[in-house]
Amino acid sequence: MVVLIFFILILLFLIGIPIVFVLGLVSLSYILITGNFNMLIIFPHRMFKGLDMFVLLAIPLFTLAGTLMNCGGITERLIALVKSLVGHIAGGLALVNIGASMLFSGISGSAVADTSALGSVLIPSMIEDKYEPSFSAAITSVSSTVGPIIPPSIPFIIYAAMGTVSVASLFLAGVVPGLLLGFSLMIASYFYARSKRIPKRGKFVLNDFLRNLYRSIPALLFPFIILYGILGGVFTPTEAAAVAVIYAVLVGFFVHRQLTIKKLIEEIMDAGILLGALAPLIGTAAIFSWILGAENASMVVTKSLFAISHNKYVLLLLINISLLLVGTVLEPASAIILFTPIFLPVAVQLGIDPVHFGVILVLNLIIGLSTPPVGVCLFIACRIANVSLEQISKAAFPFLIVAVVVLLIITYFPSLVMYLPNLFSQ
């Protein structure tokens, strides 16, 4: 039965049906195949139970907070700050691009928002500074993978809801991998600039750096307020998201003075649309997860993997390969909702901490946003740089290799991921 369920799932997906309808149709197909029409009574209950999670409110609130901070003028300030720090190094604008992604990620928590906001500013500047358009677009796209890893992270919140895992622990677990990924991409960009003999621009000026640092303080305080509040027990992750919105409004109106009432209303409506789109997906995924549980799908997957090998590291490699392939064709939120109930029990049976596995899962799927054929961040960067998908894919390949190497490091060295969560749990 499990094989049949997945066959129908893949078939409907290949036809091009949206994932929310795929999950619903698969669930209805299960009823028709089993002939147990009494389950129609259970389905609404399972949908409501799947949505009845307080932490899910944090998703539109963190999204709203990030967009409000961006509307309030933080993008230009963060770019200026990083540029004054590393802009004078060979390949300076590429380093600025990655460094700005690392800072911006602590505000938006979204790879797509990262690519859109920073790419519209930095890609034209890089092209003007003699960087190849395909490289400029590629590094913008791949560096956005840092966004959902450094807290606050929207994919981590979805995983926490699906896997009943601590949001605070996930946020802490993402810090070291996020920094490792960002600095690794910086090193690769530096050697690219050296090989292309891209000249240095300007020099480090302490006064400029201090001035930009002062102007960026409200933005830099944003992630620290969230993390300190959650870890200090001041508020829950959902309450932290609400505090983040209030902070973003205050900064936008009274500090930067670039946020308007009209823009505030527009962003609130967009956050409502996001929640409206996400709720049916979570509801149908709850039914699908219940069916997988009833059919003991995780045990079937576990047996299939153990039939290949009993070596933990080999199985982790197979899971990584599977998730990387999924990430190339499926949007991360949908993939997290769909595959957490399948792979998390397998990971636990292998002795992997659910927090550690959450970082592995999310990073795998986020890399897919910059991987052909349907990487959303690739398409956004393509439009901004006016290059073809083939050109940007070729330019992105070396940096995707770097991202995959970092993925393998955090997979096989769990202490890197779990250091901060274990430290704060003591």
CA geometry: angle 271, 288, 308, nearest 5 deg: 115
Is it true that the peptide bond before 414 is cis, omega within 30 degrees of 0?
A: no
| pLDDT one-digit tens code per residue, 62-99 | 878 877 877 777 777 877 888 888 877 777 778 888 88
Q: In sequence order, which residues have a C-beta less than 8 Å from that of residue 93 and are 6 or more positions away?
A: 83, 87, 122, 125, 126, 129, 131, 201
The residue ranges of the chain whose pLDDT is under 50 are none
Report the pLDDT value the prediction gives residue 168, as an integer from 0 to 100: 87
Contacts by 37-45, CB closer than 8 A, 24 or more apart: 42/290, 43/287
Report the pLDDT value the prediction gives residue 180, as an integer from 0 to 100: 93
Maximum distance among all Cα pairs of the chain, rounded to whole angstroms: 74
> At how many degrees (to 10) do helices 206-215 and 217-231 cross?
50
Residue boundaries of the structural domains of the chain = 55-283+297-425
How far apart CA 344 and CA 366 sit, in angstroms, is 17
Whole-model pTM: value is 0.83
* Listed residue (257, 259, 248) closest to 62, CA to CA: 248
* Listed residue (298, 286, 295) closest to 42, CA to CA: 286
Take residue 61 and report the two structure tokens written for it.
């609130």
Give the N- to C-terminal CA distance of the chain in Å, as an integer: 45
Report the pLDDT value the prediction gives residue 110, as an integer from 0 to 100: 66
| Residue 198: how many other CB atoms lie within 10 Å | 20
